[in-house]
Amino acid sequence: MELRDSEAWLLGKADQGVYLIMEILNLSRVANSVASVALAQRAISDAAAFAAHREVFGERLIRQPMARQQFRYRLALLNAGFRLAWEAVTLLNHVWTLEPPYSERYLLFRLVAHLAKYWTAEFAAQTAKWSMEIHGGLGVLAEFPAERHFREAMILAIWEGAPHRQMLDALQLMREKKAHKLLIAHLESHDPDREEQDTLIRKIDSLLEMPVAMQEESFEPVFRRLAQFTAKSLRAPRRRET
């Protein structure tokens, strides 16, 4: 696209365009996280409605032991994904008016936004795939919504930065700004699993001592684990005894 003899107005300071672009991306990533959770919830709901009427070997599919366990597992992940997405929304609400140089709270928000966008989109894609499996062969037909959920879930995984983009940006934040330490401190009030937290911190510290190329090679499983740990840890803080 070429814009010739067009008028334009600055949205901010001329030397801060990249910051405005990144702020817009981060906003969209939060919205993407909420959409991913919503799509996963719809996919689970449609799967449950189908399984409640599908009879397999003389028993409704929803009552089959393995299917029931799969539904329980997906619902637990859905709740965790919602908590992670909503934490990104909550932090965004506190920092959206901030300008460079950014505060530690904004850096915390950025890391949580990357984690939420990555983990919820991956969960939505896997849940949409599972929902198609619950529908069996009918899941690929346009008469049922399962195939549409799957197509849209794949867009969510790519939109506003595919998984590798979220990981590389988060790694830079952790390497240059120690954003993971801000996250660990932020989760303190939620009483996270201390043993898992200590193991994760050691893994991250060890990774950040590697050359940059090796950091990028080794980061994906660490990032996934950090996202899962954050989602699992985000629950109501315990009341302290007085």
d(CA 195, CA 209): 22
Residues contacting residue 239 through CB under 8 Å, at least 6 positions apart:
none
Regions in the chain scoring below 70 on pLDDT: 236-242
Looking at residue 237, its pLDDT comes to 53
Looking at residue 13, its pLDDT comes to 83
Looking at residue 16, its pLDDT comes to 81
Looking at residue 242, its pLDDT comes to 46
Give one DSSP letter per residue of 14-53, joined into a string. GGGHHHHHHHHHHHHHHHHHHHHHHHHHHHHHHHHHHHTT
What six digits make up the tokens of 28?
Answer: 């969209």
What pLDDT digit, counting tens, does each position of 197-213 carry?
999 999 999 999 999 99
What six digits make up the tokens of 79?
Answer: 């709740």
Fold of 18-233: Butyryl-CoA Dehydrogenase, subunit A; domain 3 (1.20.140)
What pLDDT digit, counting tens, does each position of 6-59 carry?
998 887 888 888 888 888 899 999 999 999 999 999 999 999 999 999 998 899
- Whole-model pTM: value is 0.91
